[in-house]
A and B are shown apart, each in its own frame.
Chain A
Amino acid sequence: MKDSVWLYPKLLWTFARNSLIRDMTFRSNFLIEAFSSLVWMVMNLGFYLLVFLKIEESQAAGATADIAGWEKPEFLVFIATTMIVNSVMQAFFMPNAQELSELVRTGGLDFALLKPIDTQFLVSLRKSSWSSLSNFFVALLLIAYAVPHLPAPPSLASWLLYPLYLLCGVLIMYSIMISLAATSIWLGRNQTLYDFWFYITNFSRYPMEIYQGNVLGDGLRLGFTYVLPILVVINVPARVLAKPFTPEYAGLAIFALVATALALVGSRWVFQKALASYRSASS
């Protein structure tokens, strides 16, 4: 087929458009949702600002406050990066992953299997929740505020690598999410696994330097970097933008690319294995 190259981008466009139309049908609901995720983010930001204020209060005047080596502007970039990755996950993948377990339980997955396109593509991207992107824009504002205050201004290379590593982070998160969602095909239903996703990704939302000082800390840092690479998701892009490049982190940055590729291949494998053992619940 000649137009097959454009088939998936076109489908993606259609999915996104339909979701946006649906969101715009319930406009006040859309606004409330966007506003409430904003409030949530502001609360989180306020928490860290308070923590920095407390550190500054306890220090001698003139000293710079930092958490595990991250000064305030650097930490703000870190938080903004978290917001970007999370908002993209919530806007594009979360609604679908939640739906997948419901599709399995009700047998609705039959219809997805019958469609002449890739099933993983269809079940991963069909719905989007555009209101979740409000945090994305707040994050951009936060970056615009924080970057001029950074101790070392980012180079051109940093600006180019930042979007690339954001994408890597999103893809790693997606791989973990779709793998967990796929297990609902085996288990029938997996509410606990979504909690599991939430609690595991919770570890990714902090600078990896905080996980140190004892066996548990080192174990968590190494495990969540090299086995289940969730610490790479936020830490690598945030560091690329907020901190000057060092050889040590060049290694981590290269590893992040490898981890992304492995995560995508691995999740694809898990999804197809799970799909092979799908027993329709409908008829």
Chain B
Amino acid sequence: MSSTTTNPTGFSSAWIIFRTCVEERLVYRGDFALGTLMRFLPIITQIFLWTAVYTAAGGSINGYTRNDVIAYYLLTMLGRAFSSMPGLASGIAGQIRSGEIKKFLIQPIDLLHYLLLARVAHKLVYYAVAAGPFALVFWLCGDYFPPWPDGPTWVAFLLSLLMGFVLGFFLEATLGMIGFWFLEVSSLLFFYMLANFFFSGHMFPLEFLTNSVPPWFASLLWFQPLQFLAYFPSAVYLGKITGPELWQGLALQAAWVVFFYTTARVAMHRGYNRYSGFGG
């Protein structure tokens, strides 16, 4: 390898990591496109279920019409395409357990930096392959969507999707770092998955809960970070969050990004210090 003789610059090593990960990801592209399309199958049941629910409930539930709810589910899928990080936390914990993490201790590559680049590469390939299925389904379901939102809403929507990616990454990375303290984190991750499903608003729009839960729980809902992984961008696109609430929401999201960025870094360094590797 040439990189052993000439010390790579930060950029060129980043480029090599990125390119390798793109190539790695493209190996299974057929399986991938089919899998993405199938992921939309539950939307069909959701359409029929919510049609039945709204037949009984009438016009709107907490400001959401039937079409809003269906558009909401589709948008949460888009949000999760950005924020979900399959295998990230379990991958980190696995590397800690197997001792593979050692290579990041001796090579001049930062673990989080490497994983972030790999994730960006994987996501870009994912979007390239998934754009087709997503476009098809959104086009087929076009009637459920409200008219196109205005410019500022678009900017806020895209911004929250992008921050959702970064937030999802550092949140899951932090969870993975727990592997330095507890070697087996799979049951913890399962509970995270359950919490995520609920608190990210993947099950239903979080507004549905506002009048039905104790006030402390309602305020918890509006401050917790998981809402930004699916609920927030979708509600922004549908025009449910506007004006000062919108900018406060984005600021809160940015604050959570900074928080988890810091936590992941601190946890990694603390973890490195207490890590002891055995064997070769």
User: Is residue A248 within 8 Å, beta carbon to beta carbon, of the partner chain?
Assistant: no
Q: How far is the CB of A198 from chain B (nearest CB, A)?
A: 9
Structural contact, A206 and B45, CB atoms closer than 8 A? yes
Q: Flag whether A209 is at the interface (Cβ < 8 A).
A: yes
Write the chain B residue with the least CB distance to A200: B41
Q: B41 contacts A43, CB within 8 Å?
A: no
B191 CB contacts on chain A under 8 angstroms? 36, 39
Select B194's contact among A43, A54, A212, beta carbons within 8 Å.
Answer: A43
In the complex with contacts A51-B53, A216-B44, A195-B35 CB distance below 8 A:
yes
CB distance from A115 to the nearest CB of B (A): 32
A222 near B: Cβ within 8 Å? Answer: no
Q: Which of A6-43 contact B (CB under 8 A)?
A: 29, 32-33, 36, 39-40, 43
Measured between beta carbons, the chain B residues less than 8 angstroms from A43 are 194, 197-198, 203
In the complex, what distance in Å separates the CA atom of A129 from the CA atom of B112?
37
Q: Does B57 lie within 8 Å of A192, measured CB to CB?
A: no
Q: Is B208 an interface residue (CB 8 A)?
A: yes
Whether A203 lies near B45 (C-beta < 8 A) is yes
User: Contacts A47-B203, A58-B58 hold; do A210 and B49 have CB atoms under 8 A apart?
Assistant: yes
Within 8 A of B (CB), among A200-235: 200, 202-203, 205-206, 209-213, 216-217, 220
Is there contact, CB below 8 Å, between B208 and A68? no
Cα(A191)–Cα(B30), bound, Å: 13
Q: Does A53 contact B (CB under 8 A)?
A: yes
With an 8 A cutoff between CB atoms, is B187 at the interface?
yes
Q: Is the interface of B mostly helix, strand, loop or mixed?
A: helix
Q: How many residues of A contact B (CB 8 A)?
A: 37
Residue of A nearest to B40 (CB): A199
Most buried by B among A54, A200, A213: A54
Q: Does A50 reach chain B (CB closer than 8 Å)?
A: yes
- B137 → A minimal CB distance (Å): 14
A110: B residues at CB distance < 8 A: none
B194 touches A55 (CB 8 A): no
Distance A65 CA – B38 CA, assembled complex (angstroms): 33
Given the known A-B contacts A195-B35, A199-B41, A217-B48, are A55 and B204 also in contact in the complex, defined by CB atoms under 8 Å?
A: no
With a CB–CB cut-off of 8 A, which chain B residues contact A199?
38-39, 41-42
Would you list which residues of chain B between 55 and 96 have a CB under 8 Å from chain A? 55-59, 61-62
A66 near B41 with CB under 8 A, answer no
A-side contacts of B56, CB under 8 Å? 55, 59, 65-67
How far apart are A235's CB and chain B's nearest CB, in angstroms? Answer: 14
**Segment 17-41 of B: residues with Cβ below 8 Å from A:** 31, 34-35, 38-39, 41
A36-B194 contact, Cβ under 8 Å, with A191-B31, A196-B38, A209-B52 = yes
A36-B190, A192-B31, A199-B42 known; A206 vs B49 contact (CB < 8 Å): yes
Given known contacts A43-B197, A43-B203, A192-B31, A206 and B48 CB-to-CB distance under 8 angstroms: yes
Question: Are A202 and B31 in touch, CB under 8 angstroms?
Answer: no
In the complex, chain A residues whose CB is within 8 Å of the CB of B57: 54-55, 58-59
Chain A min CB distance to B142 (Å): 15
Interface residues of A, Cβ cutoff 8 Å to B: 29, 32-33, 36, 39-40, 43, 47, 50-51, 53-55, 58-59, 65-68, 191-192, 195-196, 199-200, 202-203, 205-206, 209-213, 216-217, 220
Interface, chain B (partner A; CB < 8 A): 31, 34-35, 38-39, 41-42, 44-45, 48-49, 51-53, 55-59, 61-62, 187, 190-191, 194, 197-198, 203-204, 208-209, 212
Pull 9 A–B residue pairs with CB atoms less than 8 Å apart, ordered by A: A33-B187, A36-B191, A43-B198, A54-B208, A55-B56, A58-B57, A191-B31, A195-B38, A203-B44
